[in-house]
Amino acid sequence: MAGWICLVTGAGGFLGQRIVRLLVEEKDLQEIRALDKVFSPELREEFSKLQSKIKLTILEGDILDEQCLKKACQDTSVIIHTACIIDFLDVVHRETIMNVNLKGTQLLLEACVQASVPIFIYTSTIEVAGPNSYREIIQNGHEDEHLESTWSTSYPYSKKLAEKAVLAANGWALKNGGTLHTCALRPMYIYGEGSIFLYNHIYKALRNNGIIQQNSKFSIANPVYVGNVAWAHILASRALQDPKKAPRVGGQFYYISDDTPHQSYDNLNYSLSKEWGLSLESRMSLPLFLEYWLAFLLEIVSFLLSPIYKYQPPFNRHTVTLLNSVFTFSYKKAQRDLGYEPLFSWEEAKQKTMEWIGSIVKEHKKSLKTKTH
């Protein structure tokens, strides 16, 4: 596609901004449209510097604003849709999550048809596949297993329905008579510099005398580095622009992992931060089945109190399952269809993330010194 235009939704987010940085290098790309509800001043400044390489248009707007979507999709060639609300603990109101994650995706698909955008890439999540039970073991899972989450929790449920909508839209007729090609990428748990989840774990540990709380010692996961997830999106856009590859890729979903060692989430946090003096707590933890039933009791208490008081349990059955399952996936299908190979090795990803964690540790020490003086 000579002189093509790419719209990235959620471009101010952890993954979205990485996709924008990689898109800058794509050949024949005429313009990147970065859409998000809000952009930090630092990111605005960084994006404005990229203007010397490519036309980069910042669009501040809501995924539920149809006029905004109409404007963003005008003359666009490829949509990469990463915008969503991620919520594991069910803190955000259910209606808000369903609106942004599902309705926002449906509205974007409609705008895409009206503006005759031929390619739509959706950032899904491993959570649309499960895990449904901590007793279930999936190792090196693949797309042909047709795994599906049975949780009614807002986040996995909204993402599952949105992914179904995107894949069902493959082959839709566009207003100009063309055909829509869609695909979905399901990344594993994404880590890397800028991760809000990783930041929260590290910050919590720093306030706890450098001790990382263990809450997922029974898990075996294959976390994926953010740069590799962004790279998979670039390759998906190339594949759907290729007339030979598009029929094979259209309507498909792909698990996106990399060569990060399979390990528990606790061990990942530890291996990325031990250089800065952080350590794993050594106390005994509750047996898993007890933790699960305790989560169930807390959910009942929350439900009973709901008419008079909003009690937010510290964990629920979904998080206990998510954090303590053996649930790993292969990227072979993405390798075969998209030509995906991780852009960053585990060593590179580890180094970059460790340096970022180091900056958090230094910042924390600095703020402690300021308080003591």
Q: The CATH number of the domain where 112 resides is what?
A: 3.40.50.720
Active-site residue, 331 included: no
Report pLDDT digits (tens) over 173-222: 999 999 999 999 999 999 999 999 999 999 999 999 999 988 888 899 99
What's the confidence (pLDDT) of residue 372? 65
Catalytic residue among 134, 155, 191, 331: 155
Mean pLDDT computed over 15-30: 95
Residue 276 located in a structural domain: no
**What is the DSSP secondary structure assignment for residue 211, as one 8-state letter?**
E
Mean pLDDT computed over 69-86: 97
Domain extent for 121: 4-193+223-262+329-344
Strand order in the sheet with 220-221: 137-141, 326-329, 220-221
Cβ(312)–Cβ(91) below 8 Å: yes
Report pLDDT digits (tens) over 240-299: 999 999 999 999 999 999 999 999 999 999 999 999 999 998 877 889 999 999 999 999
**pTM for the whole thing?**
0.96
pLDDT of 373 strictly over 70:
no
Cβ(129)–Cβ(148) below 8 Å: yes
pLDDT, greater one: 235 or 366 = 235
Tokens 């069910």, residue located: 90
Tokens 């606790």, residue located: 266
Distance CA 343, CA 334 (A): 13
Across all residues in the chain, what is the average pLDDT? Answer: 95
Tokens 């993330």, residue located: 353
Distance CA 124, CA 291 (A): 29
Residue 209 located in a structural domain: no
Distance CA 226, CA 204 (A): 22
Would you state the structure tokens that stand for residue 71, as one six-digit string? 């404007």
Mean pLDDT computed over 76-88: 96
Distance CA 333, CA 185 (A): 11
Residue 158 located in a structural domain: yes
Distance CA 180, CA 172 (A): 5
Nearest CA to 365 out of 277, 268, 281, 280 is that of 277
Residue 29 located in a structural domain: yes
Residue 202 located in a structural domain: no
As a whole-number percent, the residues of the chain with pLDDT over 90 amount to 89
Q: Residue 45: how many CB atoms within 10 A of its CB?
A: 10
Give all strands (DSSP E) within the chain, no chain letters: 4-9, 29-36, 55-60, 78-81, 119-123, 137-141, 181-187, 190-191, 211-212, 220-221, 224-225, 252-256, 279-280, 326-329
Q: How many domains does the chain have?
A: 1
Residue 83 located in a structural domain: yes
What's the confidence (pLDDT) of residue 130? 96
Residue 90 located in a structural domain: yes
Cβ(288)–Cβ(320) below 8 Å: yes
Residue 313 located in a structural domain: no
